[in-house]
Structure 1
Amino acid sequence: MPEGVTKDGKEAKAKAKESPKRRTNLAKIKVELLDGSPMELEADRKIRGHELLSKVCDSLNLVEKDYFGLLYEDRGDPRVWIDLEKRVSKMLKHEPWVVRFAVKFYPPEPTQLQEELTRYQLVLAIRKDLLEGRLPCSTVTHALLASYLLQSELGDYEETENGAGLCKQLKLVPPSSCTPELEEKVVELHKTHRGQTPAEAELNYLENAKKLAMYGVDLHPAKDSENVDITLGVCSSGLLVHREKLRINRFAWPKILKISYKRHNFYVKLRPGEFEQFESTVGFKLANHRAAKKLWKTCVEHHTFFRLMSPEPATRSTLFPRLGSRFHYSGRTHYESRAAPPNRSQPHFARTLSSRRLSSRSADGQ
């Protein structure tokens, strides 16, 4: 047999074995945005988390990127953050990669956000938190917040407005709270907002939402030392402890000396109080080692973002000892983000709260 025939035969077999997916270095990505619409992307398979987040933010024309992150589902946990320093392919094994764009750090004062577009994304995130039950509030507050959303979406009240239909169509409140009485109250309040621009209505929405007890709190189920079910919440001001939806304790960041985890246990070392002589340590039990580490990482990120002027070097001894984990927060802090205001005029954008205006967006991979 001629030598060339054998060579060609081997090449043909090699091509036949080659998977069609491996012929390209691009991965397909599906992103769920905060208004519920899908975004489709393509990106290099070696892309890291921060590069993918930047790609999504660039597609949305967002420059205040530091408050946002990407969520994915891992081993039954639907709310795991993409690690910005790692390759996305290390976390998401199957294509298309499916992620959700979300607010990671909720600013304690929404007016600190410097662009109207960023505030609008925060409004969408809070609306989502309300609809999914992560942000409990009273019927009165539900009605007030919904009325500001109506003003932002539709402008001034018109006599033809159908409150019942709009509350359901725009998903202004959770279905369980959508009573005729609430819908009537929403319309009454909407009438009082006449003259407010969408940006003003959204700022009023945020000013009321930030007062809610669970605003911006990242929740983690746990058990206390007596094996009673509790919830630990991480937020801009520190660590909150809830039992049966009532806050029973609060550890502010300045009060905390050290936070650590070992196996499924999570520990908080506290400074002595005014009338105390010694430091104290409080322990909690998480479901497993992975849950304890997730809570610890959330604390590292929130403490660094909201309390420090810049991230601490990875090698330095810090408030949060590594205990074998190489993780450290490396993005910009809240201080750094506010110190570098966007160098552009306010961008124009379409508000897509209404489901009748949702449309799929796509962006090409680089």
Structure 2
Amino acid sequence: MEADNILFSFRVKFYPPNPFRLKEDITRYQIYLQLKRDLLHGRLYCNTSEAALLGAYILQAELGDFNPEEHIDNYVSELKILLKQTLQLEEKMMDIHKNELKGKTAAEMETIFLKKACVLDTYGVDPHAVKDQRGNQLYLGINHTGILTFQGSKKMNHFSWSQVQKINFEGKMFIIHIILNEKKQTIGFKCPRGSSCRHVWKCAVEQMLFFTFPSSSDVPNVVSGGGFFSWGTKFKYSGRVEREILEDMTITRESPTVTRVGSLRRKSSSEPPTPSNLVVNQVGFNSLSRSSTNTSEEYNTSMDSSNQIDNSSVLEPLIEDQEIVTSK
């Protein structure tokens, strides 16, 4: 691989349940930047009212107070804030920016943004395309609260870490062993490929260990996926767990100054104009592009699992990382 083709990205893996327990402003700022990216890529999915609020908070943080001489007509139409941006959402964002946020600083808006974002069901979720036992298209999300499933814009299930007893996989099947109402249950989800299933398993195990174990020394090695003719997949956790980090929050150095750089992305001239409204199959995680999920080979997606659609109708032409590579 040539050096010019290597792309390093700084990303958040473990989203803190409460970002305001982080001691330094610069760390919270990095969480804000990650969530702003998640909103743009459709991972931080929310309803239209919440999306308009979050978008307006970004406008105030990035552009400052509304200026009638500078912010003319639909000034938001040139900016990329939401994955599925509509004229109606842009108008709502501009209305909030103009009339409700005057005088708020960038730091204040980032705080308000974090308070709103961290209570959403999709906070910290990296969606994985799976199917349930009936063949319905779902997205599996894993974060500090446990394992969640979504169908389109609707949260279907939430298995908290306290309910989860074991996680394993066999071939393409990702399997969760839970205790619900004092009864043991086993729930399986089918992934597109064995490799993607192994990846989902590793993500789930890592999140569970980080957020539930008292110390890294207590974390065991985990094995899953083995069969009669094959070895299982081993996972060895490395690094500290959440409790250790929270108990050792002593910072002796002086807090670094937060240097905020404008990071709003502008639409390219080749992108189509903003639509007035979303079509049905572009609601929720169904609207994600292939590269916005952790499964590159997705199943067909639809709000109605019995009505299959062409994946090309819900794919985005470009994503951030692709734009960076092509701009070199």
Q: Tell me the TM-score normalised to structure 2 length.
A: 0.69
**Offset, 1:302:** 0.7
Map residues 180-219 of structure 1 onto 2, 5 A cutoff.
181-190=88-97, 191-219=99-127
What RMSD, in angstroms, separates the aligned Cα atoms of the two structures?
Answer: 2.7
Matched, 1:235 2:143: yes
Contact 1:236 1:302 in 2 (8 A): yes
Work out which of the residue numbers 232, 235, 238 in structure 2 matches 1:327. Answer: 235
Query: Is it true that 1:267 corresponds to 2:175 in the alignment?
Result: yes
Q: For each residue in 1:229-271, what CA deviation from the matched residue of structure 2 results, as whole angstroms up to 9, or x when unmatched? A: 2222111111112234422222111111111112222211112
- Count the aligned residue pairs: 258
Q: Is the 8 A contact 1:265 1:284 kept in 2?
A: yes
Provide the residue aligned with 1:141 in structure 2: 50
Aligned-partner residue type, residue 250 of structure 1 = H
Matches of 2:194 and 2:139, distance apart in 1: 17
Q: Identity across aligned pairs (percent)?
A: 35
Could you give the per-residue CA deviations for residues 99-120 of structure 1, whole angstroms, max 9, x where no partner exists? Answer: 3222212222221222222222
Q: What SS is found at the alignment partner of 2:52?
A: helix
Q: Deviations over 1:48-71 (max 9, x none)?
A: xxxxxxxxxxxxxxxxxxxxxxxx
Structure 2 equivalent of residue 43 of structure 1:
none
Secondary structure at 1:173's aligned position in 2? coil
Corresponding position of 2:162 = 254
Q: Residue 157 of structure 2 aligns to which amino acid in structure 1?
A: N
Cα gap change, 1:312 to 1:303, in 2 (>3 Å): farther
Distance 1:163 1:215, change over 3 A: farther
Q: How does 1:52-201 map to 2 (within 5 A)?
A: 93-96=1-4, 97-162=6-71, 164=73, 166-174=75-83, 176-179=84-87, 181-190=88-97, 191-201=99-109
1:178 Cα deviation after fit:
4.1
Whichever structure has more strand as a proportion of its residues is 1
Cα distance per residue 1:328-360 (max 9 Å; x no partner): 221222222233333333322332234599xxx
Question: What SS is found at the alignment partner of 2:119?
Answer: coil
1-structure distance, mates of 2:265, 2:36? 17
- Report if the CA contact (8 A) 2:146-2:158 is conserved: yes
Deviates more, 1:291-300 or 1:207-216: 207-216
Change (3 A) 1:193 1:273: same
SS of the residue 1:329 aligns to? coil
- 1:153 and 1:353 in contact (8 A); partners too: yes
Distance 2:102 2:200 in 1: 44
CA distance in 2, matches of 1:246, 1:356: 29
Please say if 1:303 is aligned against 2:237. Answer: no
**1:133-157 CA distances to partner (integer Å, 9 max, x unpaired)?**
2222233222211222222223333
Q: Deviations over 1:5-42 (max 9, x none)?
A: xxxxxxxxxxxxxxxxxxxxxxxxxxxxxxxxxxxxxx
Higher alpha-carbon Rg:
1
User: Which one has more relative contact order, counting CA pairs under 8 Å at least 6 apart?
Assistant: 2
Deviations along 1:141-185, one digit per CA (max 9) or x if unpaired, are: 2221122222222333334241655424443334x4241x44443
Cα distance in 2, alignment partners of residues 140 and 313 from structure 1: 43
Match of 1:288 among 169, 193, 200: 193
SS in 1 for 2:233: coil
SS at match of 1:231: strand
TM-score, normalised to structure 1, is 0.63
Separation in structure 1 between the aligned mates of residue 213 and residue 2 of structure 2, nearest angstrom:
37
**Distance verdict in 2 for CA 1:348–1:292, change over 3 Å:** same
Partners of 2:75 and 2:89 lie apart in 1 by 12
Structure 1: which 5+ runs fail to align? 1-92, 358-366
